[in-house]
Structure 1
């Protein structure tokens, strides 16, 4: 891996580095959603959700399509769910090690 590839990977991981975006990706793993669907889930304003979606779209993780007047968002890179699952397993492992120490 070269420096440019390392930077690109770090930028992709930064796009995931917000709890609201993690919630949104988890919801998108269950199917396509509108901004309003995601807004209700995250209990955030529409502009806030739109900013998070923009970040995920720029990273290539989410795409959108228009269905009549609505914009529907789709998980473009389902393999990102494996990355999120890996983070959950890592957290469980850390908690177990910490519990074993105590």
Structure 2
């Protein structure tokens, strides 16, 4: 095939992201949050989720993920904790 891609899965996600209602940055953020949630709740098991879309974050100078950059306010910290499935930031 010789596609010379770091991740064929990430490449396909990136190529198809323009055709959906979610931006690629939003898709990458969701991928990362799901990975963190999986790691947090792995309970000693080896986490098997890898956020494949993250290979593109350094190439295109991606913005910081909104869920984390907005977590300076209490309202957004509560939302982030809910996304990660924890009761408080202290649990992390």
State whether TM-score is above 0.5.
no
Q: Which has the higher contact order (CA 8 A, sep 6+)?
A: 2
Question: Structure 2 length normalisation: TM-score?
Answer: 0.31
Question: Structure 1 length normalisation: TM-score?
Answer: 0.29
The structure that is helix-richer by fraction is 1
The structure that is strand-richer by fraction is 1
